[in-house]
C-alpha cells in the first residue's frame, strides 16, 4: 500500500492548481482524476479561451461574490489575489491579456495552453497525476485516510477534495466529492443551477430570436423588492433568454431560493421589460453549481473540515459560486493554494510560497480591447454555450 503526504481528489482547475502548489512547497502529493484526461471542464471555460480571472482588486472581488460566499473566500482571495494569479501564470511561461469587462485570458486565448501549463508543472515538480482513477471509497483511519480506487489503495494523513459541482457531469463533475463529505459527517447544501439561462413563454421570444442587447441591467424582483441587480448582455435564444446579465441573475435566484420572481431588463435606450421565467435551465447545463459542502463546517482560514480533521476542500465542491467572468476559476485557484499551504504547515514546511513579484515589462497581463474575432464570436455564441468561469 502506497503512502503520500497529500491525496488530491479531482483533476480539474482546483485539483491541478493544488497539485502545482504542493510541488512548489515540496509536498509528496498524488492527484487522482476519474476521467482518462484531466481538466475537461477547464478546456470549456471562456468558450475554450479560458477566462482565468478578473482584473479587479481582491476587495472588489469579495464584494462581487456577495454573502455568504465573499466573506468565506476572503482569506483565500487575499492570499492569492487576482493580480497574483496573473503573475503566477506569467512566471510559468503563459502571459495573460485583459479584455473587455476586465476579463483575463491567456494571451494565446487557448484553454489547452492553460491545461498544458498545469500538467507540465506537475511533471517538473514530481507530483503524480493518476487519470482513469475512480475513487471507490474515502475512509478515515487511525493515522489519516485511506483512498481506494479500482486499481490501487493509497493512504495519507491529509486529503483535499477538489471534485467540483454537478454541472456538466460528462466532464467528471458527478457529485462524488459531496457524497464522501456527507459520509464523513458533513452537511451538503442542496444543488441548484447557477449561471444558467431561463425558459420563458414563447411570446417573449416572438420575432426576436437571435437578438442581442448589449450593456443592459437586470433587476431581480421578488414581492416587489429588488433582491439583486446584474449587468451585461441580454440574448434571445430559441430555448429562452440568456446572456451574461441573465445568467448572473440566475445565481441570485438560486442563492435566495426564489420561487416567484420577475426579471426587469433595463435597456440602453431607457426602455425596460419585465420577464417572468418559467424556470431556469437544467443544472447539468449550468456553468456552476450553487450548493455543496456547507461553509459553516469548513474553517475559512485553512479550508480544513471542522468535523473531520485532516480533510480539506477546494473549489466548487463547497457551497461556493460566483458571477460569470473569471470569478469561479479564481476561487478554485485561490482555495486550492490556501488549502495546500495549510497542509504544508502541518507537514512542517515553513517557507511558504515564493513571493510573486511584479513580472518583467511585457511579461504580465496586457490590456487589449475587443477584436473582430471576439465580435464575431459573440454573434455565434448562444448564452447556454458560454463557459465563462
Give me the CATH number covering residue 138.
Answer: 3.50.50.60
> For residues 221 and 264, what is the distance between their CA atoms, to the nearest angstrom?
7
Q: For residues 233 and 264, is the Cβ–Cβ distance under 8 A?
A: no
Same domain, 182 and 58: yes
Same domain, 146 and 245: no
Work out the number of other CB atoms within 10 angstroms of the CB of residue 348. 7
Q: How far is CA 285 from the centre of its chain?
A: 15
Same domain, 330 and 201: no
* 202 sits in which H/E element: helix 202-205
> For residues 291 and 35, what is the distance between their CA atoms, to the nearest angstrom?
23
Same domain, 26 and 121: yes
Q: For residues 235 and 243, is the Cβ–Cβ distance under 8 A?
A: yes
pLDDT interval class at 42 (50, 70, 90): very high
Same domain, 214 and 358: no
pTM of the predicted structure, to 2 decimals: 0.91
The residue among 281, 298, 332 that closes a domain is 281
- How high is the pLDDT of residue 355? 65
> Which pLDDT tens digit goes with each residue over 235-262?
999 999 999 999 999 999 999 999 999 9
Work out the number of other CB atoms within 10 angstroms of the CB of residue 298. 25
Q: 225 is in which domain, residue-wise?
A: 197-281
How many domains is the chain built from?
A: 2
The residue among 217, 246, 281 that closes a domain is 281
Q: Assess whether pLDDT exceeds 90 at residue 134.
A: yes
> For residues 49 and 355, what is the distance between their CA atoms, to the nearest angstrom?
28
Work out the number of other CB atoms within 10 angstroms of the CB of residue 41. 23
Same domain, 201 and 164: no
Same domain, 235 and 344: no
Same domain, 148 and 42: yes
Rounded-to-10 torsion of CA 178, 183, 189, 195: 10
Q: Assess whether pLDDT exceeds 80 at residue 349.
A: yes
Q: Assess whether pLDDT exceeds 80 at residue 70.
A: yes
Q: What's the grid cell of residue 117?
A: 501549463
- For residue 3, what are the β-bridge partners? 155
> For residues 102 and 350, what is the distance between their CA atoms, to the nearest angstrom?
35
Same domain, 184 and 204: no
Q: Assess whether pLDDT exceeds 50 at residue 359.
A: no
- How high is the pLDDT of residue 353? 85
Nearest partner of 288 among 11, 33, 27, 65, judged by Cα: 65
Averaged pLDDT for residues 321-343: 98
- The C-alpha R_g of the chain, in whole angstroms, comes to 21
pLDDT interval class at 367 (50, 70, 90): low
Same domain, 188 and 304: yes
As a whole-number percent, the residues of the chain with pLDDT over 90 amount to 88
> Which pLDDT tens digit goes with each residue over 177-209?
999 999 999 999 999 999 999 999 999 999 999
> For residues 167 and 286, what is the distance between their CA atoms, to the nearest angstrom?
6
Residue with cell 466529492: 177
Cβ-proximal residues to 241 (8 Å cutoff; 6+ apart), any chain: 197, 198, 200, 204, 205, 234, 235, 275, 277, 383
The residue among 249, 281, 313 that closes a domain is 281
- How high is the pLDDT of residue 308? 98
Same domain, 272 and 309: no
Comparing 25-29, 185-189, 347-351, the range with the smallest average pLDDT is 347-351
Averaged pLDDT for residues 141-148: 97
Q: What are phi and psi of 62, to 5 degrees?
A: -55, -45
Q: For residues 316 and 291, is the Cβ–Cβ distance under 8 A?
A: no
Work out the number of other CB atoms within 10 angstroms of the CB of residue 151. 9
Q: Assess whether pLDDT exceeds 70 at residue 373.
A: no
pLDDT interval class at 352 (50, 70, 90): confident
Nearest partner of 241 among 268, 269, 208, judged by Cα: 208
> Which pLDDT tens digit goes with each residue over 222-231?
999 999 999 9
Same domain, 164 and 238: no
> For residues 99 and 365, what is the distance between their CA atoms, to the nearest angstrom?
10
Nearest partner of 33 among 46, 45, 19, 21, judged by Cα: 19
Please state whether the peptide bond connecting residue 68 to the residue before it is cis, i.e. omega within 30 degrees of 0. yes
- How high is the pLDDT of residue 99? 94
Averaged pLDDT for residues 112-127: 98
- For residue 199, what are the β-bridge partners? 279
Q: Return mean pLDDT, the chain.
A: 92
Amino acid at each position: 500500500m502506497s503512502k503520500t503526504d497529500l491525496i488530491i481528489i479531482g483533476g480539474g482547475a482546483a485539483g491541478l492548481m493544488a497539485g502545482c502548489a504542493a510541488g512548489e512547497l515540496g509536498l509528496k502529493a498524488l492527484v487522482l482524476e476519474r476521467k482518462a484526461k484531466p481538466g475537461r471542464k477547464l478546456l470549456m471555460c471562456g468558450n475554450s479561451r479560458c477566462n482565468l480571472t478578473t482584473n479587479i482588486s481582491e476587495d472588489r472581488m469579495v464584494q462581487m461574490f456577495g454573502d455568504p460566499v465573499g466573506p468565506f473566500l476572503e482569506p483565500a482571495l487575499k492570499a492569492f489575489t487576482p493580480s497574483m494569479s496573473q503573475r503566477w501564470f506569467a512566471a510559468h511561461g503563459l502571459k495573460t491579456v485583459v479584455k473587455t469587462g476586465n476579463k483575463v485570458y491567456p494571451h494565446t486565448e487557448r484553454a489547452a495552453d492553460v491545461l498544458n501549463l498545469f500538467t507540465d508543472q506537475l511533471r517538473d515538480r514530481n507530483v503524480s497525476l493518476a487519470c482513469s482513477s475512480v475513487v471507490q471509497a474515502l475512509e478515515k483511519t487511525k493515522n489519516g485516510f485511506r483512498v481506494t480506487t479500482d486499481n490501487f489503495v493509497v493512504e495519507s494523513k491529509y486529503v483535499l477534495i477538489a471534485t467540483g459541482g454537478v454541472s456538466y457531469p460528462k466532464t467528471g463533475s458527478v457529485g462524488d466529492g459531496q457524497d464522501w463529505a456527507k459520509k464523513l459527517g458533513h452537511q451538503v447544501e442542496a444543488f441548484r443551477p447557477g449561471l444558467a439561462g431561463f425558459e420563458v413563454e414563447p411570446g417573449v421570444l416572438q420575432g426576436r430570436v437571435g437578438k442581442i442587447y448589449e450593456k443592459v441591467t437586470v433587476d431581480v424582483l421578488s414581492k416587489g423588492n429588488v433582491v439583486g441587480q446584474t449587468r451585461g448582455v441580454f440574448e434571445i435564444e430559441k430555448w429562452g433568454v440568456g446572456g451574461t446579465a441573465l445568467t448572473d441573475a440566475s445565481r441570485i435566484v438560486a442563492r435566495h431560493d426564489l420561487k416567484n420572481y420577475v426579471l426587469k431588463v433595463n435597456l440602453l435606450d431607457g426602455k425596460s421589460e419585465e420577464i417572468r421565467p418559467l424556470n431556469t435551465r437544467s443544472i447539468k447545463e449550468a456553468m456552476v453549481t450553487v450548493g455543496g459542502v456547507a461553509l459553516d463546517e469548513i474553517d475559512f482560514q485553512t479550508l480544513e473540515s471542522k468535523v473531520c480533521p485532516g480533510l480539506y476542500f477546494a473549489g466548487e465542491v463547497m457551497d461556493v459560486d460566483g458571477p460569470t467572468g473569471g470569478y469561479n476559476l479564481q476561487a478554485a485557484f485561490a482555495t486550492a493554494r490556501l488549502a495546500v499551504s495549510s497542509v504544508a504547515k502541518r507537514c512542517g514546511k515553513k517557507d511558504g510560497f515564493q513571493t510573486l513579484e511584479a513580472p518583467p515589462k511585457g511579461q504580465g497581463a496586457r490590456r487589449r480591447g475587443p477584436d473582430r474575432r471576439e465580435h464575431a464570436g459573440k454573434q455565434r455564441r448562444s448564452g447556454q454555450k458560454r463557459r465563462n468561469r
